[in-house]
Amino acid sequence: MHPELSNREERTSRIVAERLRALGLDEVKTGVGKYGVVALLKGSKPGPVVAVRADMDALPIQETIDVPYKSLTPGVKHACGHDVHTTVELGVAEVLSKMRDQIAGSIKFIFQPAEEGAPQGEEGGASLMIKEGALENPRPQAIFGLHTAAFEVGQIGYQSGPAMASSDKFTITIHGKKSHGAVPQGGIDAVVVAAECVTALQTIRSRRIDPLEPLVLTIGTINGGVRNNIIADEVKMEGTMRTLNEQVRARAKELMRQTLASVTSAYDAKFDLSFDDSNPVTYNDPRLVDETLPKIRHLVGDPNLLSLKPFMPAEDFSYYQKVIPGFFYFLGVGNKAKGLMPAWHTAEFDVDEESLVVGVKVMTNVLLDYLDHHAASR
């Protein structure tokens, strides 16, 4: 009911920290990566450290559904289910805080702001939390996270290896030279050059990269020129690139630069290319997935454990997985019988609250199973 935008999770963060302190967790650090909260729960038996992460931010979308828990903040809504993630992780902390004597090792709870991306000009999200020490003192040896998904409540979905795409926002500026619209030979037409660049960039997907490797290269905006009879001296384009493989990602960036350099030089134009707002590939460590699945299968039943194809949206959980092995899986929050088929980032997004129970049960067991497994092999 109280969604807050990325890097503005002041109230959410405060309530999370209050709850964790009330549960008697051993350390509760606030202000990690702006409104991030990191807490540690020590079991009474020795063992490894494992982490669990939930994100807390909402989206600038007006709530349209009429439910008891509808957003009370105009223009802001939990349309990606991050409120579910936060609630589940608090539930996990509550359950585990009451069974310390059975825990071999420690659990690090990470509550993260700004997963959807920090506002323009601000840092935030997983990368900032890592920079500010979320994965140090102590360093967990694995991390788990979950995300809502449109399939039925009671089901868990997963991918082994690539789970969600890398995303790179890019900006291209083509620099030409102004001239009278009827005297093109006196200028360098940035509109014509930009048009050639747009088509040439698509051949990276179609001609330069292995067809079996997913790649999306989208130019989403194109702006340039000032008047019908003036040759434009500048065109600005923005787009996004998605891959499921870090090598393809690096290669595609290199090919973008090469393509832009070649096309612009043919017309004596210049260009700038910059990338920001990036996320790596969300990559689930296959060994960690293999050792975790039997427990999840046992909890939800084999027909409810869904092996999924990767998704092309991105997730900044990927930053933790660059440091330590991680497993990010999907929690069914839909219910066809109740007419709930929630689509991420839409005004109609809604969840079956039964998913909270499933989420807490599965994540609690996954963490305990990990600790037992690795305490035994130490």
> Can you give the binding site for Zn ion, defined by CB under 5 A?
80
Cα dihedral: 326, 309, 161, 156 (round 10): 30
**Between residues 41 and 331, which has the closer beta carbon with respect to Zn ion?**
331
- 129's CB contacts (< 8 A; 6+ apart) are 32, 33, 36, 38, 110, 112
Q: Which residue is nearest to Zn ion (CB)?
A: 80
CB of 83 to Zn ion, least distance (A): 11
- Residue 25 DSSP SS3: coil
Minimum CB separation of residue 55 from Zn ion in Å reads 6
- C-beta of 149 vs 260, nearer to Zn ion: 149
CB of 116 to Zn ion, least distance (A): 5
| Closer by beta carbon to Zn ion, 80 or else 174 | 80
| CB-nearer residue toward Zn ion: 20 or 80 | 80
Q: How far apart are CA 76 and CA 1, in angstroms?
A: 10
- List 4, 55, 83, 115, catalytic entry: 115
Task: Specify whether the CB–CB gap between 158 and 305 falls below 8 A.
Answer: yes
- Closest contact distance (angstroms) between CB of 79 and Zn ion is 7
The H or E element containing residue 196 is helix 190-203
With respect to Zn ion, which residue has the nearer C-beta, 80 or 371? 80
Catalytic residue among 4, 9, 57, 315: 57
Active site residue 316: no
Residues facing 54 on adjacent strands: 111
Q: How far apart are CA 261 and CA 160, in angstroms?
A: 38
CB of 162 to Zn ion, least distance (A): 17
DSSP 207: I
| 115 in catalytic set | yes
Query: What single DSSP character describes residue 303?
Result: G
Q: How far apart are CA 178 and CA 47, in angstroms?
A: 68
Task: Determine how β-strand 282-284 pairs with β-strand 161-164.
Answer: antiparallel
- At residue 89, what is the residue type? E
Q: Which residues form the catalytic set?
A: 57, 115
